[in-house]
Amino acid sequence: MGEALGLLGFGPDGWGDELAAGAWLTIRLALATLPFGLAVGFLAALARNSPRRWLRTPGNAFTTIFRGLPELLTLLLVYFGGQTLFTRIAGLFGGAQIEVSAFVAGLVALGLVFSAYASEVFLGALRGISRGQHEAGYALGLRPFTVLRLVVLPQLIRLALPGLANLWLVLLKDTSLVSVIALNDLVRETSVAVHATKEPFLFYLVACLIYLAMSIVSSVGIMRIERWSERGVRRS
């Protein structure tokens, strides 16, 4: 027991510092990806819900592609494809090879996958709001953007929140994929510790407990947001 605590301790003889740094990077990556994924997913849902075909078609294509591709392949395509693309663009102007940040590549790749699934959640929520409420807002003289902001969005948040909460928990776990592009997240730091100490069970168990703790904290926060979104809603 003492040996295990020593391996997990902080300082030069323990791996606590590395695991904490990896967990912090995991949290930062998930939090940075969330607003990007929500914004793109909401825009995709608006496009798919539009009566205009030229908006619906790319919206549906975007969702189909990124829901159909494995997350790992999406990550690799964004990371290596981004380097190739930017290097070729720089080559046109006599520039050198450009290295794409692994953090940014992870953010973009996970955000695209998250947004594809989020668009489904937003689309279901949009269709759950009756057309009569839009028309009532227009009858009061409100502009379309004002109707969206004052009438649609408050209800949209409440209707979409359960699905988005599940997607957030999935995103939190999917951040482990970025270890394959040498980003020092929790999984990569755990793997380094395992190879150095030959204690796979101990460190993988600790990593599981850290992910579980992050999920529990997230669930508590989600419940509070749900209570906030349901304020003023009459329950039968």
- By the 8 A CB rule, do 20 and 95 touch? no
Query: What is the predicted pLDDT for the residue at 157?
Result: 86
- CA end-to-end span of the chain, whole Å? 54
Query: What is the predicted pLDDT for the residue at 34?
Result: 96
Distance CA 100, CA 97 (A): 10
How many CB atoms sit inside 10 A of residue 189's CB? 23
Query: What is the predicted pLDDT for the residue at 2?
Result: 62
Q: How far is CA 85 from CA 79, 80, 91, 98, in A?
A: 10, 9, 10, 9
Of 194, 229, 29, 22, the closest CA to residue 109 belongs to 29
Give the whole-number percent of the chain exceeding pLDDT 90: 56
Q: pLDDT digits over 163-190, tens only?
A: 999 999 999 999 999 999 888 999 999 9
Q: pLDDT digits over 11-49, tens only?
A: 777 888 999 999 999 999 999 999 999 999 999 999 998
Query: What is the predicted pLDDT for the residue at 45?
Result: 94
Residue 1: which pLDDT band, with cuts at 50, 70 and 90?
A: low
Global confidence as pTM? 0.89
What's the CATH fold of domain 2-229? MetI-like fold (1.10.3720)
Residues 6+ apart with CB under 8 A from 160: 121, 122, 124, 125
Following CA atoms 168, 171, 172, 174 in sequence, which dihedral angle do they give, to the nearest 10 degrees? 160
Average pLDDT over residues 88-112: 82
Specify the higher pLDDT residue, 107 or 231: 107
Average pLDDT over residues 58-78: 94
Specify the higher pLDDT residue, 7 or 180: 180
Q: In which residue are the tokens 């930062």 written? A: 28
Average pLDDT over residues 156-164: 90
Give the whole-number percent of the chain exceeding pLDDT 70: 93
How many CB atoms sit inside 10 A of residue 233's CB? 8
Q: Examine the pLDDT at 140 and tell me if it is beyond 60.
A: yes
Residues 6+ apart with CB under 8 A from 183: 25, 29, 102, 103, 106
The one-letter amino acid code at 93 reads F
Note the residue count of the chain.
236
Q: How far is CA 87 from CA 58, 73, 75, 95, 145, in A?
A: 27, 21, 18, 8, 40
Average pLDDT over residues 73-87: 87
Residue 96: which pLDDT band, with cuts at 50, 70 and 90?
A: low
Query: Sign of torsion, CA 165 166 171 176?
Result: positive
Residue 63: which pLDDT band, with cuts at 50, 70 and 90?
A: very high
For the chain, the domains span 2-229
Give the chain's mean pLDDT.
87
Distinct helix (H) and strand (E) counts, the chain: 10, 0
Specify the higher pLDDT residue, 202 or 91: 202
Residue 121: which pLDDT band, with cuts at 50, 70 and 90?
A: very high
Query: What is the predicted pLDDT for the residue at 95?
Result: 64
